[in-house]
């Protein structure tokens, strides 16, 4: 074991003069399967208060330019019927919203108090790296790589400190560890920590599919978040469109055993040209 890794494994701090470890290869390899543009139909079902479904269409230039149009609700009843026709454009740390009830466009800045990185609006779960905040190398420092054997399997634990902590549920995530199988390139588990270094959540990555040498993508990601109440569980099912592009297919969220919402992506088109005017709202 290299001296720097041995120091970390023994709980010692790295010398400030040492160069930071290079980003792990599994991040860049997985990122190669992210599309440049996406168009999808999206249905979001909210189960509270009897439940209703919001139908949307989205256009995205990843990672940080998005447009979402709300096209329908079911049942089409007041008050949720008022949001039909709403249009939203997310651009880096700003969002523009067209309100069909007033005919006005309002621009707001995303809440800086959440510590969002530039391009935070692009984090909508389109890759595993986005879910774990390591898609943007300006947002983390890789502070350790520690070989570990977990349940008889030889893995490498990567420890990251986030330069701009991210809010998940009601927990601010400031640090994380990701365990990867160095032989297969499979990321298999992650542990999330809050700014006080308390364990805040666990991410399990499974149902891997080998897509290239040294690259295996998890087709199911389960996140378990602790926020003082019932555990929040999010299950993301991914698809590999045309064998080349890694996209979410469905997201289900629960509070304990109670279903909160379901989100389904259908009819996705990837890497098609999207005219810049699509991201300019007009009344």
Q: What is the DSSP string of the chain?
A: --HHHHHHHTTPPPPTTSPPPPPPHHHHHHHTTS-SEEEEEEEEEE-GGG-EEEEEEEEEETTTEEEEEEEEEES--TTGGGGTT-EEEEETTEEEEEETTTTEEEEEE--GGGTPPTTGGG-SSSSHHHHTT-S-GGGEEEEEEEEEEETTEEEEEEEEEEEEEEEETTEEEEEEEEEEETTTTEEEEEEEE-TTS-EEEEEEEEEEEEEETTEEEEEEEEEEE-SSSSPEEEEEEEEEETTTEEEEEEEEEEETTEEEEEEEEEEEEES----GGGG----
How does pLDDT run along the chain (283 residues), one tens digit per residue?
A: 333 322 323 233 344 445 555 678 888 888 788 888 999 999 999 998 789 999 999 999 877 788 999 999 999 888 889 999 999 998 877 889 999 999 999 998 866 544 444 444 444 455 667 777 787 777 789 999 999 999 999 999 999 998 878 777 778 889 999 999 998 889 999 999 999 999 999 999 999 998 888 788 899 999 998 877 788 899 999 998 888 888 889 999 999 889 999 999 999 999 999 999 999 998 8
Single pTM value for the model: 0.82
């Amino acid at each position: 074991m290299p001296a720097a890794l041995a120091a970390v494994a023994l709980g010692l701090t790295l010398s400030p003069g040492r160069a930071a470890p290079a980003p792990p290869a599994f991040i860049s390899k997985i990122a190669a399967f992210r599309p440049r543009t996406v168009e999808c139909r999206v249905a979001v079902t909210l189960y509270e208060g009897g439940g209703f479904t919001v139908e949307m269409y989205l256009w995205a230039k990843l990672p940080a330019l998005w447009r979402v149009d709300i096209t329908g609700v079911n049942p089409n009843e007041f008050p949720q019927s008022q949001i039909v026709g709403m249009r939203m454009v997310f651009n880096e740390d700003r969002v523009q919203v067209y309100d069909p009830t007033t005919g006005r466009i309002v621009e707001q800045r995303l809440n800086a108090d959440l510590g969002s990185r530039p391009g935070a609006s692009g984090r909508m779960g389109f890759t595993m790296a986005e879910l774990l905040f390591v898609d943007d190398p300006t947002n983390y420092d890789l502070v350790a790589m520690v070989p570990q054997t977990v349940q008889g399997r030889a893995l490498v634990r990567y420890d990251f400190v986030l330069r701009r902590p991210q809010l998940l549920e009601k927990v601010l995530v400031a640090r994380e560890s990701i365990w990867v199988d160095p032989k297969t390139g499979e990321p298999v588990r992650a542990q999330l920590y809050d700014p006080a270094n308390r364990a805040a959540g666990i991410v399990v990555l499974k149902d891997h599919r080998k897509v290239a040498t040294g690259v295996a993508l998890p087709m199911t990601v389960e996140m378990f978040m602790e926020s003082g109440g019932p555990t929040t569980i999010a299950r993301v099912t991914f698809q590999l469109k045309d064998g080349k592009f890694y996209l979410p297919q469905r997201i289900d969220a629960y509070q304990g055993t109670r279903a909160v919402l379901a989100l389904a992506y259908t009819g996705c088109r990837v890497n098609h040209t999207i005219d810049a005017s699509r991201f300019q709202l007009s009344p």
